[in-house]
Structure 1
Amino acid sequence: MKRIIPLLALALTFSCQNTAQVNKKQLDVINAEPIEVPIKKGKARAYFASGCFWCVEAIYESVKGVEESISGYAGGHTKNPTYASSNTGSTGHAEAVEIIYDPKVVSFETLVDVYFASQNITQLNGQGPDHGSQYRSIIFYQNEAQKQVILKKKAALAKKLNAKIAAEVYPFQKFWVGEDYHQNYERLHPNHPYIKNVSIPRLNRFKANYPKELLKSKSH
């Protein structure tokens, strides 16, 4: 269960060092050739990690052209990751989402824009109150064209803000679907303290600053 932890406790409890990425198995993942997911029934798929997947799932489902957002795990070197194992920080996996979208309505480039617009882009190994390598920011590319889109947008943001952008850029390998109880969590549990105090405010900040014509009229 997500918890809201006082800032001081966070500082004492968590380290910003990302130990998930230093072993050889993880380096093999980072340096692998990307795997491209074919379009099925006119729908494409994209993969992002941006902190708590409860938050990210709701954000993407507010965007026109996104059919569904699925919570799970990606970016690591172990098979069959779970919520418990990913939370140890030893699997290399981060909480991630699979975005199923209509490329005729919304482009991959726009999904990357949503990604950067919906988070603290300079926070290392976490978002908001969630800290650890399992909450780090990762954008996954499936081919060279997607990789170049990501790198150019990341570089432009770094120049504009004169800051280091925390998001890592990984070749997509595999997405592991999360446990059933994590799916649509924000929608199904609107009164959960974490949802009320973290997820919904994050969603509302994104919607308040993003072009209204790109958002669904009715969403979370």
Structure 2
Amino acid sequence: MVSELDNFSREISNPSTIFNEFKHLMLLYNCALREVDTKLTILNDEFQVIHDHNPIEHIKSRIKTPESIVKKLKRKGFEITAENMKTHISDIAGIRVICSFTSDIYKIFELITSQSDITLLKVKDYIKSPKPNGYRSLHLLVEVPVFLSEKTEPMKVEIQIRTVAMDFWASLEHKIHYKFEKTPPQYILDNLKLCADTVNALDAEMLMLNEEIQKYK
């Protein structure tokens, strides 16, 4: 992290001021991420102990690197300031929840957004309306309070909720685009879209099979 921050300071015109502001902002985002992660972990623990089905397979979380934050602000045409980071980049703190079935996705959505100290800012449902390349996931932008010694700071966290199959496809898609600096060959994109359709069909079949199994309990 130290080397990342050093690189970050070389990218900006007033490093001493923005460097300290950035460190404080990263503290806030890390705290916000822990808040949301704790809420999801508690739900996960409850389902394991009390209920006969746990919708959460696993949880991943991450904070954007300083370099990626700078690149995104530049791409959007904004000056490199802490205020612009907070205002114009919504996915600095991100958490991903992996589920077994598509029905679990909306169950988690209801549970997490019904909590009194979470404010839902935006929903992008790429399951009901997939991206042209076949990407499917439910994206939530929420705001959670971070309680400091002298004030409470509302911070944004992006939550992505998807099935195991959707996550596998998204991981492959990311690797393909990382491999090719520019757009991958069309035949690869076409095959990737076919895989996305297959994943969607598999999710639907697995959900139907699970619902049939539940009838025997």
Fold similarity call, TM over 0.5: no
Question: TM (normalized to structure 2)?
Answer: 0.29
Higher relative contact order (CA 8 A, sep 6+): 1
Question: TM (normalized to structure 1)?
Answer: 0.29
- Give the greater-gyration-radius structure (CA): 2
